[in-house]
């Protein structure tokens, strides 16, 4: 997946996963009130895992070689 659209897709999905993971972790830590997830440690774990997956996707998207670029 070296196409520019593939890189953009990886980065976009990674950013969305990172934001959702951060919100869910915040709710699990009782920092963001107003949901059934508030104060539930399970959502802290799910949020942290999702945030880590998001970071990995962002890094993969940024490290993919650009189309038409030669490596030396």
Give the structural domain span for 50: 4-63
**What is the pTM (predicted TM-score) of this model?**
0.81
- 18-65: pLDDT as tens digits: 999 999 999 999 998 888 888 889 999 999 999 999 999 999 999 867
Q: pLDDT at position 66, please?
A: 65
pLDDT at 71 over 70: no
Residue 69 lies in a domain: no
pLDDT at 3 over 90: no
Q: What is the dihedral of CA 53, 61, 6, 25, to 10 degrees?
A: 30
Residue 26 lies in a domain: yes
Residue 72 lies in a domain: no
The total domain count for the chain is 1
* CB proximity list for 1: less than 8 A, separation 6 or greater: 7, 10, 64
Contact 13, 60 (CB under 8 A): no
Residue 31 lies in a domain: yes
SS3 of residue 6 by DSSP = helix
pLDDT at 5 over 80: yes
Residue 70 lies in a domain: no
pLDDT band at 2 (very low <50, low <70, confident <90, very high): low
């Amino acid at each position: 997946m070296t196409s520019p659209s593939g890189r953009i897709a990886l980065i976009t999905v990674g950013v969305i996963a990172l934001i959702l993971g951060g919100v869910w972790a915040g709710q699990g830590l009782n920092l963001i009130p107003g949901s059934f997830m508030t104060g539930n440690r399970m959502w802290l774990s799910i949020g942290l895992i999702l945030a880590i997956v998001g970071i990995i996707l962002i890094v993969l998207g940024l490290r993919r070689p650009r189309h038409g670029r030669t490596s030396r």
